[in-house]
A and B are shown apart, each in its own frame.
Chain A
Amino acid sequence: MAFVSSGYNPEKPMENRISDIGPRHASDFFPPVIAKNKGQWLWHEICEPGILMHKAESGDEVYTVRCGGARLMSIGHVREICEIADKFCGGHLRFTTRNNIEFMVGTLAEAKKLKEFLNAQKFDGGSHKFPVGGTGAGITNIVHTQGWVHCHTPATDASGTVKVVLDELFEEFGQMRMPAQVRISMACCLNMCGAVHCSDIAILGYHRKPPVIDHEWLDNLCEIPLAVAACPVGAIRPTKKEIVTEAGETKTVNTVAIKNERCMFCGNCYTMCPSLPLSDQTGDGLVIMAGGKVSNRISNPKFSKVVVAFIPNEPPRWPTLAKTIRKIVEAYAGDARKYERVGDWAERIGWERFFEKCGLDFSEHMIDDFRDPAYYTWRQTTNFKF
C-alpha cells in the first residue's frame, strides 16, 4: 500500500489548517418535513411497535420507523443503512441516543412496507440486521460501552453481553406489553462510560481482585504520587522493595504497597498507573443493578441499586446474566401497575418483596458501606415486611 497524502504537509502543519469548526449544523441534515415543521409539532402516537407518527400544526404527518442497531457497525453496514434511506426516505435518517436507527416516511402504508423490508434483512449467520421496535412500554436497545473490543479497563465484554441479553429479550423489543418503558444499560467497568447508574436494569462489569503490582516497571511508567493520590480509599502508599528483575538482577526499586482489604476495585489507580493492572479471568464478572431512572415523570429520578452482587463472566453467551435479567423482567411485567417503572414498583412493594418476586438472593454485599450515602440506605423504621 502506498501512502496517500490528504494534502496535509507535516513540514508546515499550519498551512491551510482548519480547526475548531465544530460539528455540522443539524439543519444541514433535516428531512424536508422536519425542516418545514420544526417547533410546530402538535402530538404523536405509536401506530404499532416500531412505528411513530408525529402530527404538525400544518397538518403534515411524519411516520418514523425505528430499528435496533448493534452500536458497533461496519461501514459496509452503514452503507446499507444509507441505501435504505436513499430508497425509502429521500436520503435522510437519524440515530437515537440508544443506538437505534430511524427512517422517516410520509404515510403509514410506506412505513409498514419499510418495516416489513427491514425485518426481512438478515446477516449470513442468521441474526436480524434491522429489527423494528424499541417504542413505548417495551424494552428498547441496550446502550453500552466498548468492553473487550476496544477498552483498556473493562471487566467484561460489552457488545457480547448486550447481544445475548437482547437475544433473550428479543420479542420484547418488538412489542409493548410492559407496564412502562424498561431501559437496560451496560457499562463494562465502574467508570461507567455508559452511565448505567440510573437505568431500570443495569449490567455492570466489575473487578474483584486488587491490582497486581509490576514492581520492576512501576517507577518508570508512573508518577508514584499520582498513583497514591488516585486511590479514593487511601489503600496505596509509596514504598521501596527489593526485587529480582526479569533479567535476574537483584535491586531495590521505588514502588507502591497496597492494603488489599481496603480496595473496592474501582480501577482508578490503574487508569493513573498502567503498572497496576487488576483484570482477572476469575476475579472479573458482572453486577446487576435495578430500579433507576432519569425521567422526572411521577417520581423523581433515581439511582439503580445493586440486586445481584456478582455473576461470573461466562463468554461467549453469559447464560446466567441473560437468565437473571429475564427473571427480573418477567416479575416486573407480571406485577407492576400501568405506568410504574421498575424502581417505582420496587419501592411500592418494598425491596424485600422485590428480591422475593424476582427470585434473587440477598447477601451482605447488597448492604451499602461506602461513605455517608450508605447510611441513607439502611432501614430506620420498624415498617418492614416479613
Chain B
Amino acid sequence: MAKHATPLLDQLQSGPWPSFVADIKEEAERRLKNANNVEYQIPVDVCDDLLGILELSYKDGTTHWKHGGIVGVFGYGGGVIGRYCDQPQMFPGVAHFHTIRVAQPAGMYYTTEFLKQLCDLWEMRGSGLTNMHGATGDIVLLGTTTPQLEEFYFELTHKMNNDLGGSGSNLRTPASCLGDSRCEWACYDTQELCYQMTQEYQDELHRPAFPYKFKFKFDGCPNGCVASIARSDMSFIGTWRDDIRIDQEAVAAYIGGEIQPNGGAHAGKDWGAFDIQKEVIDLCPTECMWLEDGKLKINNRECTRCMHCLNVMPRALRIGNDRGLSILVGAKAPILDGAQMGSLLVPFMKVEEPYDEIKEIIEGIWEWWMEEGKNRERLGELIKRQGLAKAIAAVGLTPVPQHVMEPRHNPYIFWKEEDVEGGWDRDIADYRKHHQR
C-alpha cells in the first residue's frame, strides 16, 4: 500500500514509453520490503515521499524544492547540490534530499560490477534513485542527507576508486562522445583527451575559483554527438586537413544499390533508388565533388569537412590521415545574455601527449576570463563584451580569415596607440599654428 495517493502521477504509468513513476513505485516497494536487510541510512520511505511531493507539484503546478544551501564534502566546493523540500512536515523522507554528482567514465561504458557496487552504495546511503545520466554527463544520484555525504564519498573513493563531478562556479565534469572506441569518424581519441584534461584540472573541477561555470566537451568529428559546439565554453571538435580517402569500388557499390546509403538510416520509408548526384554531389555545401568516368572525385582543398558525404557513404569514404581538432569557445544556453554558439578560436591543432599546446590554450583563456570576467559572466559573454580578437590575443594566436564568417560590417576599428605612427600625443599649440580658432 503506497504511503500517499498519487492519482495524477498514476496516469503516467500507462502509455508505452518507460514510466519513471512505475519505476519509483517499484523502488518504494523494494525499500519497504528490504529483502536484503540493508541498513538504510536515510528514511526508508524516501521514494514514497518523493512521489508524494511530486504529486503535490502536479496538483499545484509549481515546484516544492527550495534553494540549495551550502553542503558538500570536506575540501571540495562542488560535486554536491543541496536540496530541501518546502513541505518537510508532510514529506519528512525528502526533507533533506541532496544530489551527488559522480564523475562518469568517458564514453559512458560500464562493467556491471561497477554499476552494482554503485547501486549497493546508493541503496544504503541514498534514495536509490539516479539519473543515468545528467545533462552535463555525470552520473547523478538523487537524494541523500547531509550526514551521509562524507560517508558516501569515503566509500566512493576507497571502494570504487572514483570521484565526484563538478558543480558551482568551477570546471564542470568534462564529457566526450564515444570516439574511436566504436566510431570510424573519430579524428582523435576523445575519451583519452577528456580523461587527461579531467585529471589535469581536478583542482579547477572541485574548488570554485571561476566567475561562473565552465564546460569542456569533446566531439570526435563535426557531426557533434555530444553537442559541444552548442553547450560548452570550450569545445574540442575533431577534424582533418588532408584528403578524404576514397574506395572507388565501394562508391560503385553504392551507385549500384548494393550498399544502403547512410548506413541504412532511412530504411523506414521508400525514398527510391540511391542517386549519388542528387544525394551527395548536389548536397555538398562547397560543390567540391563530381563524377568522372564513374569515379568520385573530390577537390579536397575546397572541402569544409561537413561530414555529409562520409555519413552517406561510410564504406566508400573515410576521414583523412592528418587528424587533429578545432577549438571553439563561448557556447552557452540563453541565461543571461542570450544563447551563443561556439566561435572558432583554433582552426587546427594536433592531439599529442602530453597535450601541452592544448593546455596552453585552456590556461590562456582561463587567465583572461578570471581577470576580466564579471561575477556570473560566461566566457561567451565576455567574448561578446570585449570582442573575439581579445580572446585570440589571450591565447597568443594570430588572427586568420578562418576566425570569421565575414569581415566586420562597420569601420569602427579600435586602433591602439602603438598601431599608429607617432602615437596619440599631439601639441595643440603646434596644431593652432596652422588652424585658427
Chain A residues close to B by CB (< 8 Å): 1-8, 10, 13, 16-26, 28-31, 34, 38-39, 41-49, 54, 62, 64, 68-79, 81-83, 85-86, 91-97, 99, 101, 123-131, 135-138, 143-154, 157, 159-160, 163-164, 166-167, 170, 173, 175-178, 181, 187, 190-198, 226, 229-230, 232, 266, 268, 274, 279-282, 284, 292, 294-299, 301, 303, 313, 315-317, 338-339, 370-371, 373
Residues 168-189 of B, flagged 1 when their CB comes within 8 A of A and 0 if not, give 0000010101101111101001
Q: Contacting B17 at CB < 8 Å: which of A131, A138, A197, A316?
A: A131
Q: Are A124 and B26 in contact (CB-based, < 8 A)? A: yes
Query: How many contacts between A and B, using CB within 8 angstroms?
Result: 448
Query: With A39-B189, A93-B110 in contact, is A295–B206 under 8 Å at CB?
Result: no
B435 to chain A, nearest CB (A): 39
Q: Does B376 contact A (CB under 8 A)?
A: yes
Q: Are B227 and A266 in contact (CB-based, < 8 A)? A: no
B276 to chain A, nearest CB (A): 13
In angstroms, Cα B181 to Cα A62, docked, is 11
Q: Are B22 and A150 in contact (CB-based, < 8 A)? A: no
Q: Are B67 and A123 in contact (CB-based, < 8 A)? A: no
Interface residues of B in 81-134 (CB under 8 A from A): 83, 97, 99, 103-116, 118-119, 122-124, 128-134
Q: Are B195 and A23 in contact (CB-based, < 8 A)? A: yes
Q: Are A195 and B333 in contact (CB-based, < 8 A)? A: yes
Complex contacts, B266 vs chain A, CB 8 Å: 136-137, 176, 338
B47 to chain A, nearest CB (A): 8
Complex contacts, A45 vs chain B, CB 8 Å: 260, 263-264, 314
In angstroms, Cα B143 to Cα A150, docked, is 9
Q: Are A24 and B114 in contact (CB-based, < 8 A)? A: yes
Q: Are A95 and B307 in contact (CB-based, < 8 A)? A: no
Query: With A1-B41, A91-B113 in contact, is A127–B67 under 8 Å at CB?
Result: no
Complex contacts, B203 vs chain A, CB 8 Å: 20
A298 and chain B: residue at smallest CB distance = B308
B223 to chain A, nearest CB (A): 5
Query: With A74-B26, A298-B308 in contact, is A79–B119 under 8 Å at CB?
Result: yes
Complex contacts, B108 vs chain A, CB 8 Å: 94-97
Query: With A29-B111, A81-B115 in contact, is A123–B163 under 8 Å at CB?
Result: no
B42 to chain A, nearest CB (A): 8
Q: Are B16 and A195 in contact (CB-based, < 8 A)? A: no
Complex contacts, A284 vs chain B, CB 8 Å: 61-62
In angstroms, Cα B180 to Cα A44, docked, is 13
Q: Does B296 contact A (CB under 8 A)?
A: no
B189 to chain A, nearest CB (A): 7
B174 to chain A, nearest CB (A): 9
Query: With A22-B103, A152-B67 in contact, is A94–B262 under 8 Å at CB?
Result: no
B153 and chain A: residue at smallest CB distance = A8
Q: Does B291 contact A (CB under 8 A)?
A: no
Q: Does B30 contact A (CB under 8 A)?
A: yes
Q: Are A129 and B18 in contact (CB-based, < 8 A)? A: yes
B375 to chain A, nearest CB (A): 7
Other 10 A-B pairs with CB < 8 A, given A95-B132, A97-B227: A1-B44, A2-B39, A29-B114, A34-B109, A43-B263, A81-B115, A82-B119, A137-B262, A163-B12, A316-B58
B147 and chain A: residue at smallest CB distance = A3
In angstroms, Cα B269 to Cα A178, docked, is 8
Q: Are A163 and B30 in contact (CB-based, < 8 A)? A: no
Residues of B in contact with A, size category: 35 or more
Q: Contacting A198 at CB < 8 Å: which of B44, B75, B341?
A: B341
Q: Which of B154-162, B353-361, B389-397, B413-421 contacts A (4 or more CB under 8 A)?
A: B154-162
B190 and chain A: residue at smallest CB distance = A26
Q: Are B15 and A18 in contact (CB-based, < 8 A)? A: no
Q: Does B199 contact A (CB under 8 A)?
A: yes
A121 and chain B: residue at smallest CB distance = B18
In angstroms, Cα B54 to Cα A339, docked, is 41
Q: Are A136 and B267 in contact (CB-based, < 8 A)? A: yes
B278 and chain A: residue at smallest CB distance = A338
Q: Are B116 and A94 in contact (CB-based, < 8 A)? A: no
Q: Contacting B128 at CB < 8 Å: which of A74, A229, A292, A295?
A: A74
Q: Contacting B112 at CB < 8 Å: which of A7, A86, A297?
A: A86
Query: With A20-B203, A79-B119 in contact, is A38–B15 under 8 Å at CB?
Result: no
Q: Contacting B227 at CB < 8 Å: which of A101, A294, A338?
A: A294
In angstroms, Cα B336 to Cα A190, docked, is 9
Q: Are A23 and B103 in contact (CB-based, < 8 A)? A: yes
29 A-B residue pairs with CB within 8 Å: A1-B40, A3-B41, A6-B155, A13-B150, A21-B157, A21-B161, A26-B191, A30-B181, A39-B180, A44-B184, A46-B263, A46-B264, A54-B183, A73-B20, A76-B23, A76-B27, A82-B119, A91-B112, A97-B177, A125-B19, A136-B264, A136-B268, A137-B265, A149-B20, A150-B65, A150-B83, A296-B306, A316-B58, A338-B266
In angstroms, Cα B123 to Cα A190, docked, is 33
Q: Are B267 and A274 in contact (CB-based, < 8 A)? A: no
Q: Are A296 and B224 in contact (CB-based, < 8 A)? A: yes
Q: Which of A62, A232, A338 has the most CB of B within 10 A?
A: A338
Query: With A152-B68, A177-B268 in contact, is A85–B105 under 8 Å at CB?
Result: no
